[in-house]
Structure 1
Amino acid sequence: MVRRAGLFSAALLVLATGHTSAAGIDLSKPYGNKSGCINKNGQQVYAEDMLLLNDTEFITATSACTFTEKKTQADGSLVVKSMCEAEGEDGQSPIQFTVKRSPKNAKKLMIADEDGTVYGEVSRCR
């Protein structure tokens, strides 16, 4: 009986772990706003509001950030450390931001900086 209880506990642990990773954010396909998704394969059009997020970078109309570290939090959000180049500036700066599910629409992601300033919301590109 003890052995069965141990197996049952192990099975629950596997299920709980699977649930946690399933709640995480999958960036294997790009997310963006309308102009970001138009530009997902390279600069097609210029738009002031462009946001494009994928597994390795976050791009806006005026900056490009390359991820150096990604860490999934207990709530499923993703904390990303990156090195960013800003238009008109020399060199790169370290920036950390958080990607989490939108409180309004679970299919959208919200991107915010360390201070909580929201860059915007993005949807999975088609």
Structure 2
Amino acid sequence: MRAGRSLPALLLGIALAGPAGAAVDIDGSYGDKEGCRYVETGESSGADFFFLLDKEGITTAVSYCEFQGEGRKVGGATVVKAGCHEEGSEEVTPYELTLTPDNGGYTISFADGTRWGPLARCGK
């Protein structure tokens, strides 16, 4: 990606790219309270932290991780490659994420032991 592009431009490009990032079998949106507010209203509360998971990727208050390629089942979890873009940086960093079902939601784990979640299903 060329320098000078912003996170909104990246997200718009991803949204317009179509089903390429839709290779993970997530049947809705999952997040914490602020992440679900974001998906339901389209507006951020300004919270320093929020997490939102959908079939395209994971959005946080300061980053976006787009799923790349097909996820693969490992036990009850799904392992998927993702390209993550931090706010304020044009660099996309590759990661392998594990999405583990957790009480009707998901927990996201990184290879370094970082965990996000559990994220509950958003909406009604």
| TM-score, scaled relative to structure 1 | 0.70
- Asked if structure 2 preserves the Cα contact closer than 8 Å seen for 1:33 and 1:122, the reply is yes
RMSD: 1.8
Q: 1:66 to 1:88 in 2, by over 3 A?
A: same
Determine the C-alpha separation between the residues in 2 that align with 1:85 and 1:53: 15
Secondary structure of the 1:28 match is: coil
Q: What residue is the counterpart of 1:27 in the other structure? A: 26
Q: What residue is the counterpart of 1:94 in the other structure? A: 94
Quote the offset at 1:26 in angstroms: 4.5
The structure that is strand-richer by fraction is 2
Q: Which amino acid aligns with 2:35?
A: G
Q: Which amino acid aligns with 2:100?
A: K
Q: 1:121 to 1:70 in 2, by over 3 A?
A: farther
Q: Which amino acid aligns with 2:37?
A: I
Q: 1:84 to 1:51 in 2, by over 3 A?
A: same
Determine the C-alpha separation between the residues in 1 that align with 2:28 and 2:57: 12
Runs of 4 or more consecutive aligned structure 1 residues displaced over 4 Å after TM superposition: none
| 1:125 partnered with 2:92 | no
| TM-score, scaled relative to structure 2 | 0.71
| Higher RCO structure, 1 or 2 (CA under 8 Å, sep 6+) | 2
Quote the offset at 1:38 in angstroms: 0.5
Secondary structure of the 1:73 match is: strand
Determine the C-alpha separation between the residues in 1 that align with 2:35 and 2:81: 21
Secondary structure of the 2:39 match is: coil
| 1:66 partnered with 2:63 | no
| 1:108 partnered with 2:108 | no
Secondary structure of the 1:47 match is: coil
**Long gaps (5+) in structure 1:** 1-24
Determine the C-alpha separation between the residues in 1 that align with 2:96 and 2:25: 18
